[in-house]
Amino acid sequence: MAHDLILKCKGLYTAPNQLSGVPEGALAVADDVVIDQDNLAQSRRGFDSPLAALPLASDRINRFVFYKETLIAHWGTNVLGYYNGTAWVAFSGTYAPVNALTARTRFLEANQNLYLTSSVGIWKLDTPTGTPKAAGVPKGLDLQLALTGSTGFFTNNPQVTFTAVETLASANLTAPSSLVGLVVGQYVSGTNIPTGTKIASITQPVLVLSTTMSSTAGSNSIVVAVATGIANGQVVAGANIPTGTTVTGVAGTTITISANATATQTTTAVTFTTPGYVTMTANATTGTGSITVT
């Protein structure tokens, strides 16, 4: 009698229908066999019975895999461990599945490493008894903005107050008392400044000259060693010169300043700086003079 070689394994059919029969390749007995792909049966050795019990009587294995001839398993709600031949050993830490019902822990072996999924991302093992390490990219964070949120590391609606000189029909605020804390885009409010005006640009002070001077107490004239580059409007800074003093006249090395020196000095350091200024998105509507700006 001729024999046919059947290469398609359909799996176990232990209760065949007597009227229709079973498909070709059906098995009545399949010991130590696993079918991972359609029509393909592979031998798989069974497990020693019984294995050592899990740490708790209520524990149940959710998923297991062989990795480098070692049985790795996930059991309970968030425990991952391996079987050392005599007992189950749990890895340190917790390894909860993405979803205990619909997305249990899954394993994948690649590049001689074992990867597994969890609720906090992917973990990696490079040896069966090693320590799992986080793999992949960090989990993204959800951010929410609240219009009336409480103040934290970022100051809510900060205000900077300074004095400056405004000029009719000009967008520049000159001779500011300070530029610290000012940034482009901040709103500007003050006398004769239209509502909704913002800072368009900020020009920082520029050092023109650093030299020495001689001053006389109560006099608004100083004598400098070098006068190259000194011009009216520049800010003068030095010992016994009031803050905010500017140049009002230049005659050789004799410089007239807007405030009197407070003490008599010789060969004292002094600097001359072109003052910074703030340019607004709108011109001052009326008036010229010093104002307070916020």
In tens, the pLDDT along 187-203 reads: 888 888 888 899 899 99
* Rounded Cα–Cα distance for residues 47 and 240 (Å): 94
For the chain, give me the number of helices (H) and strands (E)?
A: 0, 23
Query: In the structure encoding, which two tokens stand for residue 227, read together?
Result: 């006068």
Mean pLDDT, residues 247-268 = 92
pTM: 0.43
Cα pseudo-dihedral 63, 66, 68, 70, rounded to 10: 80
Whole-number pLDDT of residue 1: 45
At residue 225, what are phi and psi to the nearest 5 degrees?
-70, -35
Flag whether pLDDT at 257 surpasses 90.
Answer: yes
158, amino acid identity: P
Average pLDDT over all residues of the chain: 84
* Rounded Cα–Cα distance for residues 52 and 44 (Å): 21
Q: Give residue-wise pLDDT tens across range 19-78.
A: 777 787 788 887 777 777 787 777 766 655 557 888 888 888 888 888 988 889 999 889
Chain Cα centroid distance, residue 40:
50
The answer to whether the beta carbons of residues 223 and 213 sit under 8 Å apart is: yes
Flag whether pLDDT at 151 surpasses 70.
Answer: no
Q: Give residue-wise pLDDT tens across range 81-91.
A: 999 888 899 99
Flag whether pLDDT at 249 surpasses 90.
Answer: yes
